[in-house]
Amino acid sequence: MARCPPEVVQRRAETEKLLAMETEDVVTAMKTERTQVVIVGAGPAGMLLGHILTRCGIDNVVLERQSKAHVLQRIRAGVLEAHSVEVLRRWGLADRLDAVGAVKDGSQIVWQDRPGHFIDVRKWTGSPMFAYGQTMLTEDLYAARARSGEDVSDEVTQLTFHDLATANPWLTYERGGQSHRLDCDFVAGCDGFQGLARAAIPQAFQRNFGRVYPFAWLGIMVQRPPIPDFTYAYHATGMALAAQRNPMLSRYYIQVPLTEKIEDWPDDRFWETLLLRFPSDLAARIQTGPSIEKSIAPLRSFVSEPMRHGRLFLAGDAAHIVPPTGAKGLNLAISDIHFLSTALIDRYQTGSDTLLESYSATALRRVWAAELLSWRLTNLLHPMPEEDAFAQRLRQAEYDTLLRSEAAQQALALDYAGVPYL
Ligand code: FAS
Ligand code: PHB
């Protein structure tokens, strides 16, 4: 059998040595860790779940695509249901909310050329609602995680899910130039509508439902005192909403065509449009001023079923989206996490999978109730482009029924307050 000349043998030995070193470098580069629950996404859903699990001694890692600073500067929701506040109080997260959050008996609807209607949540449910910005809630959640000595692995890239349908799921990702493998028992997909978790579920196991609305909301923040109530205004030219964050910070929205761009909306055009849509007595009380933030958000209704695949559980916007008209998005994220954390705690304390098995159905019951409320309010309060006169008369008739019928008023207040958890 032919033998390799000595110089070739030497060269091959050197090559194999180099290869071994490179492979060794690659093997040592992949840092392998284990935890009990991996939470993907450090928005309200992910951070609330991380907090609850940590409080219950369940090991968890929170992975976030953006920087912490980016997450903390986001401006989103502003209304918390009493159910949500109960969850936050239960887990020691409501100190600042109880100190500075504004208690509201309900929200006001005003209507072009008709009397207004107050959605009296306190009268019909016995509990109020709370004005407390999602930005402040996110700050509270990050502060609580820091106090517990836990961190958020932010600026994570190349996230990939593995073996979700087995009892040993794992994830790989890059962070700060280091490759990671993270083995776990369960994965919580809390990475929002644009995240990767929902996409990790094979399409054959997924059913998606939804609507996209033919308009958007242009929102601004202004350092001026708000009017007393969250107030939705219907006007033939479009919906407007007066909201608030604190006694010196107001948030306003107007319905705009989908094609609009922020640069098309200087402040004076925004204010002129908004004031036109409120009755003159109320418009006179709105304190305008320079916007400190301005953004346009399209509206959609979306639900992905089931909210689970194997050891992956979806929660919050990763599983569903509601148009902000019903102020339900953040509140649904909180109720999902209430159900999911309860199921995970039960699993680790008793070994039972019963609540995990029923998580999706339990969460979806409340999700669909919120989808219906949000869809109904969106259709009631927004003139639709190209709608015919019949549709316009139906909208007026629906509002007149609300003005006339105490049963209709009670039903709307119960839905707006949010379906009881169980
Ligand atoms: P979030 O989207 O808040 O958080 C998901 C997190 O996952 C983000 O931090 C994201 O960076 C991260 N992420 C995404 N992909 C990832 C990946 N691959 N790896 C790791 N992390 C990843 N709701 C209301 O009730 N009222 C409102 O007025 C209102 N206004 C809104 C305005 C806008 C522009 C938007 C987009 C939403 C609004 N919402 C509103 C809904 C909003 O409040 C959500 O319901 C709420 O943020 C849901 O929280 P999460 O489910 O945690 O999702
Ligand atoms: C808000 O405070 O930003 C807000 C309030 C009520 C809504 C939507 C947004 O329906």
Strand 186-189 to 207-222 pairing: unpaired
Q: Provide the residue ranges of all domains of the chain, joining segments of one domain with +.
A: 37-417
Query: Cα of 74 to ligand 1 centre, how many Å?
Result: 9
- Residue identified by tokens 């604190």 is 246
Which ligand gives the minimal distance to the CA of 374? 2
| Atom of ligand 1 at shortest range from CA of 328 | 25
Element (H, E) at 177: none
Alpha-carbon dihedral sign for residues 42, 46, 47, 50 = negative
- How much distance in Å is there from the Cα of 393 to the middle of ligand 2? 27
For 290, how many CA atoms within 13 A lie in the half-sphere containing its CB?
A: 1
Say whether pLDDT at 60 is over 60: yes
CB-based pocket (< 6 A), ligand 2: 77-79, 230, 243, 251, 324-325, 327
Angle at 82 between CA 123 and CA 369, to 5 degrees: 85
Distances (CA, A) of 17 to 7, 11, 13, 26, 82: 15, 10, 6, 14, 66
Cα(211)–Cα(209) distance, integer angstroms: 7
Ligand 1, atom 33: closest residue by C-alpha:
76
From 52, 67, 76, mutation site for ligand 1 pocket: most ligand atoms within 8 A of C-beta: 76
Q: What is the pTM of this model?
A: 0.93
* C-alpha dist (Å) from residue 415 to 134, 308, 361, 382: 21, 26, 19, 19
Residues touching ligand 1 (Cβ under 6 Å) are 40-46, 63-66, 71, 76-78, 134, 156, 159, 190-192, 194-196, 297, 316-318, 324, 327-330, 333
Average pLDDT over residues 387-398: 97
What is the CATH code of the structural domain delimited by 37-417?
A: 3.50.50.60
> pLDDT for 149-182, tens place per residue?
999 999 999 999 999 999 999 999 999 999 999 9
pLDDT tens by residue, 107-119: 999 999 999 999 9
Closest residue by Cα to residue 410 from 58, 177, 120: 120
* CA 244 to ligand 2: nearest atom: 2
Please return the burial class of 279, using the count of CB atoms within 10 Å of its CB with bins 0-12, 13-18 and 19+.
middle
pLDDT at position 5: 54
Mean pLDDT taken over the chain: 94
- Non-local CB neighbours of 47 within 8 Å, separated by 6+ positions: 62, 138, 141, 142, 145, 152
Indicate if the pLDDT at residue 7 is higher than 90: no
Q: Which H or E run includes 259?
A: none
Structure tokens at 242: 């007066």
Q: Which of 362, 312, 365 is nearest to 339 (CA)?
A: 362
Residues 6+ apart with CB under 8 A from 136: 96, 97, 100, 245
Encoded amino acid at 369, one letter: A
pLDDT of res. 29: 78
Polymer length of the chain: 422
Per-residue pLDDT of 223-260, as tens digits, reads 999 999 999 999 999 999 999 999 999 999 999 999 99
CB of 355 closer than 8 Å to CB of 343 = yes
Provide the 3-class DSSP secondary structure of residue 75. Answer: coil
Report pLDDT for 18. 52
Please name which ligand lies nearest the alpha carbon of 84: 1
As given in the structure block, the two tokens for residue 372 are 């219906």
